[in-house]
């Protein structure tokens, strides 16, 4: 689907009954896909901003091509969402990349790449949605942090920096916009079995010669609850934080990590 067809989908959808609208960045795979699916199942019109399309169709969800690492692209996409739907009820800043490297092994270009998607992507999406939410007098935002929003991990310099920044974004934005009834929280997943997880394991196996099944089993055993997390585990909490049931919750960080950071 190209950008023209995505725009037509938006225009067509604007004629439908006004369902609550949720924008998800990076919603085509893994956690983002589970988030899109759960919101759509609960009556939201979902708009997925991603460079790739859904691999599986999601009812009441459309894909809008967008490179979230470019702030001007995000603003254009969200302006079009607002034109089509006249409302934005929820924003989930999920787009991100993971790299494994120490600070010495992280050159400036790699650092810029990680921060542009993980941090500037959230900055651009939140900043573009806030004017609409302020006018509405309501809105819920969830940024996708990490267990590394709480703790450090080896060989994870740039990723850890980005996830620490997202935790701060959630707290400061929650304070700044509480007077407008806009809530902002961070969901902080631990080891979740997603395409991103398997890609990281595959890269490690290629470097080390380890057996993948053994590495996956070790990762599961490292979680106190004894298993890897699933995308749906994260999506459920994300949905709750955007619902009216969480109306008194803002500025908080929530670990979804099987007890990992409690150790």
The predicted-structure confidence for 109-139, as pLDDT tens digits, reads as follows: 999 999 999 999 999 999 999 999 999 999 9
Q: What pLDDT is attached to residue 21?
A: 98
- Domain extents for the chain? 3-191+230-256, 193-228
Residue 215, pLDDT score: 93
Can you give the pLDDT at residue 118?
98
Looking at residue 2, what is its pLDDT?
A: 53
**Ordered strands of the 253-256 beta sheet:** 61-65, 45-50, 21-25, 90-93, 139-144, 182-189, 253-256
CB-CB contact of 250 with 184 (8 Å): yes
Across 110-121, b (16+ Cβ under 10 Å) vs e yields: ebebbbbbbbbb
Q: Please tell me the predicted confidence (pLDDT) of residue 7.
A: 54
State the pTM of this model. 0.92
pLDDT score at 204: 87
Q: Residue 199: its pLDDT value, please?
A: 87
Q: What is the pLDDT of residue 12?
A: 46
d(CA 179, CA 8): 36
- The arrangement of secondary structure in 3-191+230-256, i.e. its CATH architecture, is 3-Layer(aba) Sandwich (3.40)
* Below-50 pLDDT ranges, the chain: 1, 3, 11-17
Q: Which residues are catalytic?
A: 159
Largest CA distance in the chain: 56
> In this structure, what token pair is assigned to residue 72?
């001007």
Beta bridge partners of 65: 50
Sorted by sequence, the CB contacts under 8 Å of residue 171 that are 6+ apart come out as 184, 186, 251, 253
Predicted local distance difference test score (pLDDT) of residue 14 = 44
């Amino acid at each position: 689907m190209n950008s023209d067809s995505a725009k037509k989908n938006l225009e067509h959808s604007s004629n439908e009954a006004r369902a609550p609208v949720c924008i998800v960045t990076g919603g085509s795979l893994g956690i983002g896909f589970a988030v899109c699916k759960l919101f759509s199942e609960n009556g939201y019109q979902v708009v997925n901003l991603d460079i790739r399309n859904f691999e599986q169709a999601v009812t009441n969800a459309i894909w809008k091509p967008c490179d979230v690492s470019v702030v001007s692209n995000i603003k254009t996409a969200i302006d079009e969402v607002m034109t089509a739907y006249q409302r934005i009820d929820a924003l989930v800043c999920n787009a991100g990349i993971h790299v494994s490297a120490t600070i010495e092994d992280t050159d400036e270009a790699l650092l810029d790449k990680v921060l542009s998607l993980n941090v500037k992507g959230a900055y651009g999406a939140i900043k573009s949605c806030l004017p609409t939410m302020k006018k509405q007098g309501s809105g819920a935002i969830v940024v996708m942090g990490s267990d590394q929003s709480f703790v450090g991990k080896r060989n994870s310099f740039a990723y850890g920096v980005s996830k620490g920044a997202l935790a701060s974004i959630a707290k400061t934005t929650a304070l700044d916009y509480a007077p407008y009834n806009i809530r902002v929280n961070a969901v902080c997943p631990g080891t979740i079995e997603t395409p991103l997880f398997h890609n990281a394991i595959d890269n490690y196996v290629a470097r080390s010669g380890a057996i993948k099944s053994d590495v996956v089993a070790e990762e599961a055993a490292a979680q106190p609850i004894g298993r890897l997390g699933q995308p749906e585990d994260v999506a459920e909490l994300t949905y709750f934080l955007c619902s009216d049931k969480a109306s008194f919750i803002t500025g908080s960080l929530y670990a979804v990590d099987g007890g990992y950071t409690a150790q």
